[in-house]
């Protein structure tokens, strides 16, 4: 019996050569247009920047769907009432970009502690200054909110720099490279200790606006905030106030509530902010990892084995 799967046009050519002979494919583009009849499809894999109109079209045109796999790690954009009522298995691609994001976080921290902007300014001015006082990451305290794939990769690299690494997770437990991990009931008590605060937690109803004015006010005035999760985890008006009034030292922001970041946003021009266009997870190895994860899960699906990265749709990750 043939298994029909729906693949995004962006990745189909890299997946199809590895499929078993009893699997047939239908391609779908970003607008929800199919190249064949998806009526009998059981499996759907979506590409990045999935539009709700496309998702709903796939759900309507493929009534026999059982499993939906997304190439993203975050799933907050998928968990709509229309999706949830279908009761599908949902898997995500958490972990495939963890190395890339972790390296980006280290880049942000080194950029800040080594005053790269100031050094580039000196170069542009053709100015040679002796006696610059640059800092080290050694013995600095890093607080990571979220100890999943990304958080653990960050911790491993930070520990190699000699940092003290603290973590926050829903169910605290010891993990390699972390000096201390606390639960969501104690996380605010660690904020004053952080030289660097990294947000690497999924966006859910519980985490939306988590980094609020109260959190920012108790942080050290030299602390540096790094967001590689979702923009809405941070109360952006409160963060803007914290950055302009000096509650914290600065921020590196790879993600925002509204993307692309509007031209009128003050974040673009703040001298203590490093803005990047949601690219921390980008890597030349990303596509091959996405393909490998999906193929492994497809083999598990065909064999009746548990799938990897199954999303708890009530928790949102």
Residues annotated as part of the active site: 230, 259, 278
Q: What are the φ and ψ backbone dihedral angles of 270, each rounded to 5 degrees?
A: -65, 130
Contact of 260 with 277, CB cutoff 8 Å: yes
Roughly how many angstroms between the first and final C-alpha of the chain, as a whole number? 33
Angstrom distance (rounded) from CA 300 to CA 21? 16
Angstrom distance (rounded) from CA 119 to CA 313? 47
What secondary structure letter does DSSP report for 232? G
The DSSP result for 110-139, as a single string, is: HHHHTTHHHHHHHHHTT----------STT
Angstrom distance (rounded) from CA 95 to CA 99? 8
């Amino acid at each position: 019996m043939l298994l029909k799967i729906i693949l995004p046009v962006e990745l189909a050519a890299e997946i199809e050569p590895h499929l078993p002979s009893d699997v047939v494919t239908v391609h779908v583009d970003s607008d929800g247009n199919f190249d064949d009849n998806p009526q009998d499809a059981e499996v759907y894999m979506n590409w990045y920047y999935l539009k709700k109109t496309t998702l709903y079209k796939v759900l309507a045109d493929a009534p026999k769907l059982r499993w939906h796999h997304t190439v993203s790690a975050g799933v907050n954009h998928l968990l709509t009432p229309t999706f949830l009522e279908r009761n599908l298995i949902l898997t995500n691609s958490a972990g495939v970009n963890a190395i890339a994001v972790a390296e980006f976080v280290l880049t942000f921290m080194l950029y800040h502690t080594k005053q790269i902007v100031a050094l580039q300014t000196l170069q542009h001015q053709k100015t040679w200054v002796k006696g610059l006082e640059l800092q080290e990451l050694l013995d600095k305290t890093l607080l990571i909110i979220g100890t999943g794939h990304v958080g653990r990769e960050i911790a491993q690299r930070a520990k190699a720099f000699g940092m003290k690494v603290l973590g926050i997770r829903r169910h605290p437990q010891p993990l390699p490279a972390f000096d201390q991990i606390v639960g969501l009931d104690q996380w605010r008590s660690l904020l004053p200790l952080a030289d660097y605060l990294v947000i690497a937690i999924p966006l859910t109803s519980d985490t939306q606006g988590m980094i609020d004015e109260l959190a920012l006010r108790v942080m050290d005035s030299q602390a540096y905030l790094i967001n590689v999760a979702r923009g809405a985890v941070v109360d952006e008006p409160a963060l803007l106030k914290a950055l302009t009034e000096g509650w914290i030292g600065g921020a590196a922001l790879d993600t925002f509530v509204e993307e692309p970041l509007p031209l009128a946003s003050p974040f673009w021009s703040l001298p203590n902010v490093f803005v990047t266009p949601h690219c921390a997870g980008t890597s030349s190895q990303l596509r091959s990892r996405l393909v490998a994860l999906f193929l492994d899960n497809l083999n598990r699906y065909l064999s009746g084995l548990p799938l990897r990265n199954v999303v708890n749709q009530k928790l949102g990750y």
